[in-house]
Amino acid sequence: MAEKNSNAISERTGWKTACSGFAGSISAFIFHPLENLKLRLQANDGMSNNHLPHYRGLVNTAKIMYQTEGMVSFFRGVFVNFLGNSSANFIFFYMYAVEKRRWNYDRETSPSWVPAIISLESGVVACLITNPIWTVKTRLGLHLNTQGKALSGFGLTRKIVTDMWSKEGPTSFYRGFPAACLLSIYGVIQMTCYENLNKLFGYKESEKSYKKISPFFIGGISKCLASTLLHPLTLVKTRQQKQRFSTKEAQRIIDKNLSEEVTKAAKNADVYYVTIHDSAKSIFRNEGMRGFYKGLSPNLIRIFPSSGVFFMIYEAMLKFLE
Q: What is the pLDDT of residues 236-259, one digit of tens each?
A: 999 888 865 444 555 554 455 544
In this prediction, residue 201 carries a pLDDT of: 75
Q: Are 129 and 91 in contact (CB under 8 A)?
A: yes
- CATH classification at residue 211: 1.50.40.10
For 40-49, what is the mean pLDDT? 78
Percent of the chain with pLDDT over 70: 74
Is the pLDDT confidence value at 14 over 80? Answer: no
Per the structure, the complete domain to which residue 246 belongs is given by 10-321
DSSP-assigned letters across all residues of 150-202: ---HHHHHHHHHHHIIIII-GGGGGTTHHHHHHTHHHHHHHHHHHHHHIIIII
Query: Sorting pLDDT into bands at 50, 70 and 90, what band is 214?
Result: confident
Nearest to 89, CA basis, from 219, 187, 216: 187
Q: Does residue 5 form part of some domain? A: no
In this prediction, residue 299 carries a pLDDT of: 92
Q: Does residue 166 form part of some domain? A: yes
In this prediction, residue 125 carries a pLDDT of: 92
Q: Does residue 4 form part of some domain? A: no
Task: Tell me, rounded to whole angstroms, the distance of Cα 128 from its chain centroid.
Answer: 13
Residue type, 132: P
Is the pLDDT confidence value at 134 over 80? Answer: yes
Q: Does residue 140 form part of some domain? A: yes
Window from 18-22, 192-196, 288-292 with minimum mean pLDDT: 18-22
Calpha distance 181→233 (Å, rounded): 10
Instruction: Give Rg (Cα) of the chain.
Output: 21
Is the pLDDT confidence value at 69 over 60? Answer: yes
- Residues, the chain: 322
Calpha distance 165→172 (Å, rounded): 7
Query: Sorting pLDDT into bands at 50, 70 and 90, what band is 321?
Result: low
Instruction: Give the chain's largest Cα–Cα span.
Output: 68
In this prediction, residue 168 carries a pLDDT of: 83
Is the pLDDT confidence value at 37 over 90? Answer: yes
In this prediction, residue 147 carries a pLDDT of: 56
Query: Sorting pLDDT into bands at 50, 70 and 90, what band is 2?
Result: very low
Q: Of 277 and 199, which is predicted with more confidence?
A: 277
Q: Does residue 167 form part of some domain? A: yes
Is the pLDDT confidence value at 160 over 70? Answer: yes
Q: Are 239 and 43 in contact (CB under 8 A)?
A: yes
Q: Does residue 3 form part of some domain? A: no
> What is the average pLDDT score of the chain?
79
Q: Does residue 300 form part of some domain? A: yes
C-alpha distances in angstroms, 321 versus 16, 199, 209, 290, 314? Answer: 7, 22, 15, 45, 11
Is the pLDDT confidence value at 50 over 80? Answer: no
| Residue ranges of E strands in 209-283 | 209-210
Query: Sorting pLDDT into bands at 50, 70 and 90, what band is 138?
Result: very high
Is the pLDDT confidence value at 90 over 60? Answer: yes
Is the pLDDT confidence value at 271 over 80? Answer: no
Number of domains in the chain: 1
pLDDT tens profile 161-209: 998 898 888 988 998 899 999 998 888 888 889 888 887 876 555 455 5
Window from 23-27, 120-124, 133-137, 221-225 with minimum mean pLDDT: 23-27
Q: Does residue 127 form part of some domain? A: yes
C-alpha distances in angstroms, 6 versus 15, 98, 196? Answer: 14, 11, 26
Q: Are 77 and 4 in contact (CB under 8 A)?
A: no
